[in-house]
């Protein structure tokens, strides 16, 4: 467990161990652990017993999540965590308190389920404990993407190859960093994503482009200088961890630094996936084809990624209006007969 501090808190260690034994994805397990650490810090600062808190204390914690200052290098201070992050924290706490009830530590959970009236009358304007917001994924403009590529030219061959591959195959950060040498088929330019490395726990095979294939060949030469053993495709080049598998956290740091140099602070390890799937939609791919390519279980998930920018919508509107105008002009010719 990479969060040893949790072992001093009531039943957190046993709950996380159970989640791990049940096969929870490593990324999700880490997110739940971070959620508990944040919550326990909140309780400690207010001298609250995490075992005996009430729903009022939970409401105070949610208010804290919604109002605390959030800083990120290169970006102005904003207040409140992202809606998805708050829901993730809430899920972790709900599961944790369900576990305490199951173990007989508490009689009931302070995180009640159901809908809450937000209007003047019960039954009107109801929502959950936290509202759900569905924001569109951010994608860079052509100029911003060009700035990122320009900055990437100064990076190592490993970083350039990873960036290209992440876009080509629409990979999540975890899928990219978990790739092994045997997962790449250079002859047919295909990647095999093993079920245990994907979020949906479903294997899939995806293609990559010829330019990325050339980067792959160049990277292999560099990789052989670090290690000739089969195994993790991407290896660390640092002195401390040389030739060890590259971690997701290291890749996040690399991309963050790249985004800062490019002057595009919103660019993250997930941006390439958003951009790839949106480009496939622009290219005319069917929704179910994009879902298969992305490894989504439901089309609703795919719809959250596939969106057209205002510029795209404006172009479609102009095209549609031109067609409509031409049709209407033709119908008016009948008046001349």
- Regarding whether 190 and 291 lie in a shared domain, the answer is yes
The stretches in the chain having pLDDT less than 50 are 1, 117-118, 120, 122-125, 309, 337
- Regarding whether 286 and 146 lie in a shared domain, the answer is yes
Domain end among 127, 160, 189: 127
- Regarding whether 287 and 167 lie in a shared domain, the answer is yes
What is the model's pLDDT at position 4?
58
- Regarding whether 117 and 211 lie in a shared domain, the answer is no
Q: What is the 3-state secondary structure (H, E, C) of the chain?
A: CCCHHHHHCCCHHHHHHHHHHCCCCHHHHHHHHHHHHHHHHHHHHCCCCCCCCCHHHHHHHHHHHHHCEEEECCEEEEECCCHHHHHHHHHHHHHHHHHHHHCCCCCCCCCCCCCEECCCCCCCCEECCCCCCCCCCCCCCHHHHHHHHHHHCCCCHHHHHHHHHHHHCCCCHHHHHCCEHHHEECCCCEEEECHHHCCCCCCEEEECCHHHHHHHHHHHHHHHHHCCCCCECCECCCCCCCCCECCHHHHHHHHHHHHHHHCCCCCCCCHHHHHHHHHHHHCCCCHHHHHHHHCCCCHHHHHHHCCCCHHHHHHHHHHHHHHHHHHHHHHHHHHHC
What is the model's pLDDT at position 281?
83
- Is the entire prediction scored with pTM above 0.85? no
- Regarding whether 184 and 222 lie in a shared domain, the answer is yes
Host domain of residue 164: 142-306
- Regarding whether 112 and 234 lie in a shared domain, the answer is no
- Regarding whether 23 and 46 lie in a shared domain, the answer is yes
Calpha distance 335→337 (Å, rounded): 6
What is the model's pLDDT at position 124?
47
Which residue, among 148, 165, 156, 36, has the nearest Cα to 90 in the 3D structure? 36
- Regarding whether 112 and 167 lie in a shared domain, the answer is no
- Number of domains the chain contains: 2
Q: Is residue 314 part of a domain?
A: no
pLDDT, tens digit, for every residue of 201-218?
Answer: 889 999 999 999 999 999
Give the CATH number for residue 178: 1.10.443.10
- Regarding whether 76 and 176 lie in a shared domain, the answer is no
pLDDT, tens digit, for every residue of 160-188?
Answer: 999 999 999 999 999 999 999 999 999 99
Q: Is residue 329 part of a domain?
A: no
- Regarding whether 280 and 178 lie in a shared domain, the answer is yes
What is the model's pLDDT at position 282?
81
- Regarding whether 120 and 226 lie in a shared domain, the answer is no
């Amino acid at each position: 467990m990479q969060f040893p501090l949790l072992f001093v808190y009531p039943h957190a260690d046993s709950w996380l161990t159970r989640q791990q034994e049940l096969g929870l994805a490593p990324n999700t397990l880490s997110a739940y652990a971070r959620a508990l650490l944040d919550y326990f810090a909140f309780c400690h600062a207010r001298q609250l017993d995490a075992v005996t808190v009430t729903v009022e204390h939970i409401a105070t914690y949610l208010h804290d999540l919604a109002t605390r200052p959030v800083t990120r290098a290169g970006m102005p201070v904003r207040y409140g965590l992202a809606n998805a992050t708050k829901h993730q924290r809430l899920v972790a706490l709900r599961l944790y308190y369900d576990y305490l009830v199951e173990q007989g530590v508490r009689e009931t959970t302070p995180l009640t389920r159901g809908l809450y009236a937000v209007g003047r009358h019960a039954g009107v304007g109801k929502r959950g404990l936290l509202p759900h917001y569905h924001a569109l994924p951010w994608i860079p403009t052509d100029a911003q993407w060009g700035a990122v590529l320009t900055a990437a030219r100064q990076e190592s061959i490993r970083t350039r190859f990873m960036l290209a591959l992440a876009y080509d195959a629409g990979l999540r950060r975890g899928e990219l960093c978990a790739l092994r040498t045997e997962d790449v088929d250079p002859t047919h330019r295909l990647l095999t994503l093993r079920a245990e490395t994907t979020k949906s726990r479903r294997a899939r095979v995806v293609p990559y482009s010829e330019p990325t294939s050339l980067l792959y060949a160049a990277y292999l030469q560099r990789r052989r200088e670090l290690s000739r053993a089969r195994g993790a495709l991407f290896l660390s080049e640092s002195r401390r961890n040389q030739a060890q598998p590259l971690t997701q956290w290291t890749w996040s740091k690399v991309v963050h630094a790249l985004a800062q140099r490019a002057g595009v602070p919103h660019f993250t390890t997930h941006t390439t996936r958003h951009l790839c799937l949106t480009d496939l939609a622009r290219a005319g791919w069917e929704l179910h084809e994009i879902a298969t390519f992305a490894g989504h279980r439901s089309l609703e998930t795919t719809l959250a990624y596939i969106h057209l920018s205002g510029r795209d919508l404006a172009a479609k509107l102009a095209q549609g209006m031109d067609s409509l105008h031409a049709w209407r002009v033709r119908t008016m010719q009948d008046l001349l007969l």
